[in-house]
Amino acid sequence: MSGAPLLEVSGLCMRFGGLLAVNEVALRVEEGQIVSLIGPNGAGKTTVFNCLTGFYKPSAGSIRFRGEEVSGLPGFKLARKGMVRTFQHVRLFKQMSVVENLLVAQHQHLNTNMLAGLFKTLSYRRAEREAMDRAAWWLERLGLTDVANRTAGTLAYGQQRRLEIARCMVTRPTLLMLDEPAAGLNPKETADLQELIAELRDEQGLSILLIEHDMKLVMGISDHVVVINQGCPLADGTPEEVRRHPDVIKAYLGET
């Protein structure tokens, strides 16, 4: 499907009773692109995310993923198609160990046949071993191997953030959607995160859709930036264009 964008959203509206939270938002993510969605607090960025990932059913508009209309599908189906998200507030399985978090995430790829598991068939064991290897690989990749057997809730905040990304990555996504991944991170951690996102794109051939308030991060890695304000699209373009856009300066960035 070369030519068609990976994700194409047009005319997306989300209405909660009388409140129009998202109004005619459009965005597209090409394969291998990093696209950022920015805007003031309460602009509707997370609502857009929730519509894209099936947590809300959009009131109007179309969402096409790899050319296929996916709006209104339940969240788990979208995740299986390869659109996986993180959350603004970390949502790990806190009572489970770090490595188990990664195993749960691979549920869709595992042999979930009851009988196979009860009798521990060869194919079942192989699938389990592969899942474990994949988890180990990603823990190594994100520098979490030391804490692999710890309970996820006991990790430091920065580690929890990284674990959440690792948990998305083991599901083998094609589009990774990060909701404020740098929130609560210190400048050093933010810089590391920026590097990680760029590397994920280059190494894994991922496309990334990002909500972020850290302008340094956004301007540093985005190929494309979409600005929304009070639910409406405000501007759309390369980081340079957006930075100079008078409306964006007025509504969000402020004069510097």
Partner 1 sequence: MMLRNLKPALISAVVVVILSGLLMGIRLQQQGTGLVLIGGGMDVAVKIGAAALFIFLFNLFRDHLTALWNRVPALPRTPAAISILAARPAAHRLMWCFIIAAAVIWPFLTNRSNIDLATLVLIYVMLGLGLNIVVGLAGLLDLGYVGFYAVGAYTYALLSMYFGIGFWTGLVAAGAMAALFGFLLGFPVLRLRGDYLAIVTLGFGEIIRILLNNFTSLTNGPNGIGNIPKPDLFGLEFSRRASEGAQTFHEFFGIDFNSVHRVMFLYFLALVLVLFTLFVINRLLRMPVGRAWEALREDEVACRSLGINPTAVKLNAFTIGATFAGFAGCFFAARQGFISPESFTFIESAIILAIVVLGGMGSQLGVILAAIIMTLLPEIARQFDEYRMLLFGLLMVLMMIWRPQGLLPMKRPHLELKS
Residues forming contacts to partner 1 in the complex (CB under 8 A) are: 53-55, 74-76, 79-80, 84-85, 87, 91-97, 99-100, 103-105, 107-108, 110-112, 114, 117-118, 120, 132, 135-136, 139, 145, 148-149, 167-168, 171
Task: Please report how close the Cβ of residue 184 comes to partner 1 at its closest, in angstroms.
Answer: 18
Token digits of residue 24:
């005619």
CA separation for the pair 97, 167 (Å, rounded): 12
Taking the least distance from each CB to partner 1, the nearer of 155 and 225 is: 155
Taking the least distance from each CB to partner 1, the nearer of 76 and 157 is: 76
In the block, tokens 């394969």 appear at 31
Taking the least distance from each CB to partner 1, the nearer of 43 and 99 is: 99
Task: Please report how close the Cβ of residue 104 comes to partner 1 at its closest, in angstroms.
Answer: 4
Tell me whether residue 45 is exposed, middle or buried, using C-beta atoms within 10 angstroms of its C-beta: 0 to 12, 13 to 18, 19 or more. Answer: buried
Q: How far is CA 252 from CA 43, 157, 185, 222, in A?
A: 10, 28, 21, 17
Task: Please report how close the Cβ of residue 18 comes to partner 1 at its closest, in angstroms.
Answer: 26
Taking the least distance from each CB to partner 1, the nearer of 98 and 193 is: 98
Task: Please report how close the Cβ of residue 135 comes to partner 1 at its closest, in angstroms.
Answer: 7
Confirm if 192 and 24 have CB atoms less than 8 A apart: no
Task: Please report how close the Cβ of residue 211 comes to partner 1 at its closest, in angstroms.
Answer: 15
Q: Three-state SS across 82-151?
A: CEEECCCCCCCCCCCEHHHHHHHHCHHHCCCCHHHHHCCCHHHHHHHHHHHHHHHHHHHHCCCHHHCCCE
Taking the least distance from each CB to partner 1, the nearer of 15 and 93 is: 93
